Amino acid sequence: MSTVKRVAIVGGTHGNERTGVQLIKKFELCPDYVRRSSFSTQVLLANPQAVAAGLRYIDRDLNRSFERDRLQNQTLTSYEDRRAKEISQVLGSDSSAPVDVILDMHSTTSNSGLTLIIDEENVFTLQLATYLQQIHSSVKIYSTSCSGRKQDALRSIARFGFCLEIGPVAQNVLNADLFQKTETLIHIILDYLEQYNRNEVTLLDRSLTLYRYLEAIDYPRNEYGEIQAMIHPQLQFNDYEALHPGDAMFLTFEGETISYSGTSVVYPVFINEAAYYEKGIAMCLTKKAQVIV
Amino acid sequence: MSTVKRVAIVGGTHGNERTGVQLIKKFELCPDYVRRSSFSTQVLLANPQAVAAGLRYIDRDLNRSFERDRLQNQTLTSYEDRRAKEISQVLGSDSSAPVDVILDMHSTTSNSGLTLIIDEENVFTLQLATYLQQIHSSVKIYSTSCSGRKQDALRSIARFGFCLEIGPVAQNVLNADLFQKTETLIHIILDYLEQYNRNEVTLLDRSLTLYRYLEAIDYPRNEYGEIQAMIHPQLQFNDYEALHPGDAMFLTFEGETISYSGTSVVYPVFINEAAYYEKGIAMCLTKKAQVIV
């Protein structure tokens, strides 16, 4: 890509993740906060009905509604299907002014800290991630390039899509500290894009640590689909920490420990995300990797 | 009261508070866990439709639906109004077998720790609270005797109603540690009632610390009712800690601190409870008190 011309900052893709919703309101009131000289910035509250209802979604998960087939299927008329088509027409590749970059702000009940989710490991994306980690060393990079999220997420309709996952914070709660950290990350990324356009990016260290998606792990369930165990207290809030074969993973309601039965060290993320119970995901396992950008 | 004859353990009064829901399921499968020889114990999932939907309630807050007038008003037919009437007919004073004690299990996104809420400061209640604190020193006693909760809560239909508020935990999340602690408290209370019936209660210390409700504080809001500030990071998760005049209370979205303007030391609780945004409650202020039981 020569230069970044259009950037969209998105919040409220999930209506009960208040951090992004409130930041969009702030940016709408004061567009100067997110204005930069070398590209245009637009802000979008993605799922206003879900925001008003304080729910993740009304009919279906908006952030799983952007597969090309769905967008082209006129028989799909749920609220989120209609909203996905509207958003795609405004921001997507078929729009008259497609955005180059989408920054989608999310929050999670898992201990994600400050996570940047990248769906592709191309040079542009990896350099941005490296810069972010250079400025803010606690930022974690979670690569979902093997998970299929490139196909269905809102951010997938831009050439380069990024997701900020900030946690832990309960659904429908504003945490001031995480609100400010999310805003800081948005500014760092906007500043980076400005530097990128001016060819002024300086990466002090070209080594990047990232966590690559391996597989999703469900809760133990009975024949009726009811969960039979909880995240083990030793694993709760331990996102991005090494989980070794034999380590405690779940605790049954009767107090019995279920251990990790894998054969290699993994790094779980999205541990105990509230919205993932219904998706059959207790956590996502990742592999820690070092790449040279 | 001479002896306790009937006890009800209730969970899922709010459908998105999973701890109580899961404990009810456990007790339904193994009634022996909550059986004691000197009284009968029944368990109740209070709001099954809200539990199935993963919502606090369907039409209205069930735990604000037990005023006597509401229960007698046949024109009120919302799901929770109907459910309140059903529950009252089974457990309440007009039932053929009214329960003496209700233990209602709740969870909160605030840092409540292990809180026992009492709505009346009668001898039976205060002695139970003292015993609980004697066994489990971290238990906090929150007295709402001045707040009106005695009139509308589910627990109000029993002669003695108690609420366990365990947190912090996000809505729709099971935290194994807090699940086990809630279960432990239930067992301590059941054992206490057994001792009470046998006249075997021993209180080592008759001094009880409790936190008495003073008033609810709302978020700063604009003319449209939209919140204009968040709980200040210095106050977040500081439930039951002293808040002095001039201490930081809120943080505006622009980063400005709003201080506590009261003239005396208070002890906030329910700080940043997710469900209370819609109720206009950012926290409840309490006064710390020492009583001799």
As for the ipTM of the complex, it is 0.95
CA separation for the pair A238, A260 (Å, rounded): 14
Contacting residues for A152 by C-beta, under 8 A, at least 6 apart = A63, A64, A65, A66, A67, A70
**Side by side, which strands form the sheet with B160-167?**
B40-45, B6-11, B101-107, B160-167, B113-118, B140-143, B207-217, B283-292, B267-269
Tens digit of each residue's pLDDT (9 = 90 or more) over B22-67: 999 999 999 999 999 999 999 999 999 999 999 999 999 999 999 9
Average pLDDT over residues A26-34: 97
The pTM of this model reads 0.96
Closest CA to B3 of B289, B195, B279: B195
Q: Which residues of chain B lie closer than 8 angstroms to A179, CB-CB?
A: 230, 253
**Residue A148 has what pLDDT?**
66
Contact flag A230-B170 (C-beta cutoff 8 Å): no
**A-chain residue closest to B272, CA distance:** A173
State the binding site of B for substrate. 56, 63-64, 165, 276
pLDDT at A139 over 70: yes
**A-chain residue closest to B22, CA distance:** A253
Minimal C-alpha gap between B277 and chain A (Å)? 8
Closest CA to A42 of A1, A88, A102: A102
Three-class SS state of A292: strand
Average pLDDT over residues B163-183: 98
**Residue A8 has what pLDDT?**
98
**Residue A151 has what pLDDT?**
85
Tens digit of each residue's pLDDT (9 = 90 or more) over A141-185: 999 988 766 789 999 999 999 999 999 999 999 999 999 999 999
CA separation for the pair B273, B7 (Å, rounded): 28
- Strand A160-167 and strand A140-143: the pairing is unpaired
Q: Which residues of chain A lie closer than 8 angstroms to B232, CB-CB?
A: 176
Minimal C-alpha gap between B170 and chain A (Å)? 4
**Residue B216 has what pLDDT?**
97
Show which residues on chain A lie within 8 Å of chain B, measured between beta carbons.
Answer: 22, 25-26, 54, 109, 168-177, 179-180, 226-227, 230-233, 236, 251, 253-255, 272, 274-275, 277-278
Q: Which residues of chain A lie closer than 8 angstroms to B174, CB-CB?
A: 227, 230-231, 272
Q: Which residues of chain B lie closer than 8 angstroms to A109, CB-CB?
A: 170, 173
Contacting residues for A6 by C-beta, under 8 A, at least 6 apart = A39, A40, A42, A97, A98, A99, A100, A101
Average pLDDT over residues A101-129: 97
Average pLDDT over residues B207-212: 96
Contact flag B26-A253 (C-beta cutoff 8 Å): yes
The answer to whether residue B165 is catalytic is yes
pLDDT at A130 over 90: yes
Contact flag A171-B170 (C-beta cutoff 8 Å): yes
Cis geometry, peptide bond prior to residue A48 (ω within 30 degrees of 0): no
Residue A212's pLDDT band (cuts 50, 70, 90): very high
**Residue A147 has what pLDDT?**
78
Q: What is the mean pLDDT of chain A?
A: 96
B174, B178, B228: best to mutate for the A interface, most A CBs within 10 A? B174
Average pLDDT over residues B91-114: 96
CA angle B232–B236–B239, rounded 5-degree value: 130
Q: What is the mean pLDDT of chain B?
A: 96
Contact flag B179-A275 (C-beta cutoff 8 Å): no
User: Least CB-CB distance to A26: which of B177, B253, B278?
Assistant: B253
Tens digit of each residue's pLDDT (9 = 90 or more) over A39-91: 999 999 999 999 999 999 999 999 999 999 999 999 999 999 999 999 999 99
Minimal C-alpha gap between A209 and chain B (Å)? 30
**A-chain residue closest to B183, CA distance:** A253
**Residue A1 has what pLDDT?**
65
Q: Which domains does chain B have, with CATH numbers?
A: 6-205 (3.40.630.10), 216-283 (2.20.25.160)
Tens digit of each residue's pLDDT (9 = 90 or more) over A244-268: 999 999 999 999 999 999 999 999 9
**Active-site position among B67, B86, B121, B165:** B165
CB B232 within 8 A of CB B257: yes
Q: Which residues of chain B lie closer than 8 angstroms to A233, CB-CB?
A: 176-177
Dihedral angle, C-alpha B151, B156, B162, B163, nearest 10 °? -60
**Residue B151 has what pLDDT?**
85
Minimal C-alpha gap between A86 and chain B (Å)? 27
Closest CA to A152 of A239, A279, A1, A7: A279
User: Least CB-CB distance to B236: which of A109, A175, A231?
Assistant: A175
CA separation for the pair B70, B85 (Å, rounded): 9
CB B269 within 8 A of CB B216: no
**A-chain residue closest to B172, CA distance:** A274
Contact flag A54-B170 (C-beta cutoff 8 Å): no
Residue A2's pLDDT band (cuts 50, 70, 90): confident
